Amino acid sequence: MKPKAQWTVWRAASEFGTTRETLIRALRERGHVIKKGARFTTVEVHGALAGDLKAERVRKTRAEADLLELERRKETGDLIDFETAKAVLIEPCRAIAAAIKDMGARLCGKCNPSDPPLAREVIDQHCREVCAAIQERFGP
């Protein structure tokens, strides 16, 4: 059997029309260790630069299957788009926000019967902080 051609990174980069850095990155991505004087076969260099066609086909097939699954889930109602979810949730969220903001007025007399305005101020401040934290975490 004829010995396989061996390339240094510098020689292969020159011959394949790329930079050393690009070839080194591609070889490392394929699991090769780059050392001074390291040599690689033509198949290794080509595979690093061109990629693995079989792996790309598998990736493409999986991506296509994922898209088909998403479409199937949309059609069966198992999955809804963001705007639909937002429309469904916006009114309950507004009702919850209104209830939180109204707590001061509703609870102040029960929390501190001797000074309802102070109780309302404290409760309202806490409610504003809760609403701000929720908005910071989840958006307006």
Over residues 92-112, the pLDDT tens digits come to: 988 988 888 888 888 888 888
- In this structure, is residue 124 part of a structural domain? yes
Q: Rounded to an integer, what distance in angstroms lies between the CA atom of residue 106 and that of residue 94? A: 18
Indicate whether 108 belongs to any domain. Answer: yes
- Angle at 3 (CA atoms; ends 54, 24), nearest 5 degrees: 50
Give me the residues of the chain with pLDDT under 50, please. Answer: none
Question: Is residue 86 domain-shared with residue 130, that is, in the same domain?
Answer: yes
Q: Count of domains in the chain?
A: 2
pLDDT of residue 84: 86
- The reported pTM is 0.41
- The Cα 59–Cα 63 span in angstroms is 6
Q: Is residue 71 part of a domain?
A: no
Same domain (yes/no): 131, 90: yes
Same structural domain, 89 and 132: yes
Please check whether residue 128 lies inside any domain of the structure.
yes
Q: What's the domain range around 35? A: 6-52
Q: Which residues of 87-120 are buried (b: 16+ CB within 10 A; e: fewer)?
A: eeeeeeeeeeeeebeebbeeebeebeeeebeebb
Residue 15 domain flag = yes
Classify residue 17: in a domain, yes or no: yes
- Which backbone phi and psi does 6 adopt, to 5 degrees? -120, 135
Give the DSSP H or E segment for 6: strand 6-8
The tokens for 107 are 């609870």
